[in-house]
């Protein structure tokens, strides 16, 4: 039987570049850095003092998404997901009165879940004269709870679960959602990722792993993928949610279609708990699998949204993989890392970067890789890395890469309809 086609019919986000999709796309095009000095916790004992924070975050500004009662019962990572989901569901124009809610599911991922809640509860337990835990502790920090809250809010009764695979999380969530539709288990899936990692253990743990940039003097430009002076990623936060829908179902209700999820590939490095394979072989395998599933060749791809975290090893490995898979076409395709602007949103990275691919397809704009200054002799700059300035280009096919600790690789291909 022919495989069911899967399309995207609604999008939403809150991230360091904007409280909605329009703001996000505008600031991508402008090449704005979301990096800021951390003002939520004491960074005295940490080597890194900055992150890509959502500025002036106040959940009360989003009454459509979350009310006062829910705010008290949810960690920020769940709040971000609900805010992005509210925009995406509204954008999709789903008629929830006539649509079979048993055929709508939710799969939203997070890498670290409610790490802020967990930290505060444990701290209070050990510092209090009368140690106790909140009855909301567990339902606030478990990683699947964002999916649960979204389903409860809208009454979605289809498949519902969370995905967690470090920085590949929301790419895995999106491809899993597409698979549920292809298997006939749902007509519509709400999918994406959310993360609120800016916390004492988040900052301290990644500093100890030597994964974060410590360039506090130049924090606004510290996320500098493909630059000789890159020294680690900049932590980011936020969420992005997509309404993923079976193609014929979308046509029948007259939905706006942003793009088709044409193919996806998943592999594992089976190499190291944090470092990538230096030759990028398994990352390349994921790209090849995605191309094969989509029935496309490297010559068909116009844009690659790179994982591009601004780490010395990771950026090199990914470019090696792209050159191996794409051959001469690697010099024709546009490549950029939007993490140079959003920071690394970890479990939300794949989803917010999927939106960047949709922007490229819909609006013909390749977001730039900002903050580039110095060439690295190990990098081939004949590749079009879209350095510092956006480029206009007709984009029919975009590929997005996301790779996580544990060697987990995911590549998604989005195609214009």
Say if CB 29 and CB 390 are below 8 A apart. yes
- The CA distance from 53 to 42, in Å, is 15
**Partners of 398 in beta bridges:** 303, 414
- The CA distance from 374 to 368, in Å, is 16
Helical segments of 225-379, H only: 247-252, 281-294, 312-326, 339-342, 349-363
Instruction: Check if 307 is active-site.
Output: yes
Say if CB 295 and CB 325 are below 8 A apart. no
Instruction: Check if 357 is active-site.
Output: no
**Partners of 167 in beta bridges:** 165
Nearest by Cα to 48 from 206, 154, 163: 206
DSSP 60-126: GG-TTT--HHHHHTS-HHHHHHHHHHHHHHHHHT--TTTS-GGGEEEEEE-SS-SHHHHHHHHHHHH
Catalytic residue, chosen from 307, 320, 357, 359, is 307
3-class DSSP assignment, residue 411? strand
Instruction: Check if 149 is active-site.
Output: no
Task: State how far the alpha carbon of 364 is from the alpha carbons of 209, 304, 357, 372, 393, in Å.
Answer: 38, 14, 10, 23, 5
Nearest by Cα to 105 from 163, 171, 168, 166: 163
Catalytic residue, chosen from 149, 344, 357, 359, is 344
Catalytic residue, chosen from 149, 167, 249, 357, is 167
Task: State how far the alpha carbon of 54 is from the alpha carbons of 35, 75, 79, 94, 382, in Å.
Answer: 9, 15, 12, 28, 35
Q: Which residues of 140-178 are buried (b: 16+ CB within 10 A; e: fewer)?
A: bbbbbbbbbbbbebbebebbbbbbbbbbbbbbbbbbbbb
DSSP 5: P
Q: How far does Cα 268 stand from its chain's mean position?
A: 19
- The CA distance from 87 to 61, in Å, is 13
- The number of beta carbons lying within 10 Å of the beta carbon of residue 122 is 13
Catalytic residues: 167, 307, 344
């Amino acid at each position: 039987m022919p495989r069911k086609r899967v399309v995207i019919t609604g999008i939403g986000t809150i991230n360091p570049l904007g409280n909605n999709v329009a703001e996000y796309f505008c600031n991508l095009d402008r090449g704005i850095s979301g990096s800021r000095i951390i003002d939520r916790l004491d960074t005295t004992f940490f080597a890194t003092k900055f992150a890509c924070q959502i500025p002036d975050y106040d959940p009360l500004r989003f009454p459509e998404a979350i009310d006062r009662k829910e705010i008290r019962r949810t960690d920020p990572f769940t709040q971000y997901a609900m805010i992005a989901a509210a925009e995406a569901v509204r954008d999709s124009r789903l008629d929830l009165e006539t649509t079979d809610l048993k055929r709508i599911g939710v799969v939203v991922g997070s890498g670290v879940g409610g790490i802020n809640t967990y930290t505060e509860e444990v701290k209070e337990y050990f510092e209090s004269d009368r140690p106790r835990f909140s009855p909301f502790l567990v339902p606030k920090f478990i990683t699947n709870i964002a999916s649960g809250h979204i389903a409860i809010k809208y009454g979605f009764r289809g498949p519902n679960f969370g995905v967690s695979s470090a920085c590949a999380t929301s790419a895995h969530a999106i491809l899993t959602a597409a698979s549920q539709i292809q298997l006939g288990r749902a007509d519509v899936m709400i999918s994406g990722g959310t993360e609120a990692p800016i916390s004492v253990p988040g900052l301290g743990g990644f500093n100890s792993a030597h994964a974060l940039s410590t360039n506090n003097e130049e924090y606004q430009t510290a996320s500098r993928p493909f630059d000789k002076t890159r020294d680690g990623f900049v932590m980011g936060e936020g969420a992005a949610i997509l309404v993923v829908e079976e193609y014929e179902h979308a046509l029948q209700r007259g939905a706006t279609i942003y793009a088709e999820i044409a193919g996806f590939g998943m592999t594992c490095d089976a190499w190291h708990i944090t470092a990538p394979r230096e030759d990028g072989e398994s990352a390349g395998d994921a790209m090849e699998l995605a191309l094969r599933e989509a029935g496309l060749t490297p010559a068909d791809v116009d844009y690659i949204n790179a994982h591009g975290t601004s780490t010395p090893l990771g950026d090199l490995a990914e470019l090696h993989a792209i050159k191996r898979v794409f051959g001469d076409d690697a010099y024709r395709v546009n490549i950029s890392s939007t993490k140079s602007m959003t920071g690394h949103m970890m479990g939300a990275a794949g989803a917010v970067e999927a939106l960047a691919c949709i922007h490229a397809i819909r609006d013909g704009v390749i977001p730039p890789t900002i903050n580039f200054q110095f060439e690295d002799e190990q990098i081939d700059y004949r590749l079009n890395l879209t350095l510092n300035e956006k480029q206009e280009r007709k984009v029919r096919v975009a590929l997005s890469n996301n790779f996580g600790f544990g060697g987990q690789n995911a590549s998604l291909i989005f195609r214009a309809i």
